[in-house]
Amino acid sequence: MDFPSGRRLALALFAGAFAFVRSALAGSPEDLRGTWSLDRAQSEPMREMLAAQGYNSLEIGVLERVPVTQVIEPAAGRVAIRARSSVVQSTEELTLDDVPRPAESPLGRVERAAAWDEAAQALRTRLRYKARNGQDAEMWVTRRRLDASRFAQETRVRLADGREFRARQVFVRR
């Protein structure tokens, strides 16, 4: 083997090894697989966000106290998220293609789109719905793994009147 072809072979091997390592290190929805519980001590309150959408103080008080669990199960191009608490149970079947689709949720009838954001290493969901107070609303939910035992769920809601709210919850692996 002459020097130029040996050099090309070495470069090809290096490029292949780099691609393998990069794919092994790259995140995916698999990073979120498992059963997770809301850690209220590490999380921000959602009181303002809920009140602005029309929830009363009694409902907010209950929602702020109940244990919340999420079971996340990725599959090829999809993610199922089962949210459980003593007051609400729901399942989201997300297709990770960022195409808005009609769906039923605890918020009522919604239009939902979801995608894995490779650059941010996060699962992103966008919902359009009618808030309890009758206003059109949009919600963006970003789930990103923090470490082997925690993920952050960042929720942003914008109401038709222009008000915007944010809250960050931390879930721990069970």
Q: Where are the domains of the chain?
A: 29-173
Q: What is the pLDDT of residues 69-108, one digit of tens each?
A: 999 999 999 999 999 999 889 999 999 999 999 999 999 9
Spatial neighbors of 99 by CB under 8 A, at least 6 apart, are 113
Q: What is the pLDDT of residues 27-55, one digit of tens each?
A: 799 999 999 999 999 999 999 999 999 99
Q: Is the domain 29-173 a CATH 2.40.128.20 member?
A: yes
Reported pTM: 0.83
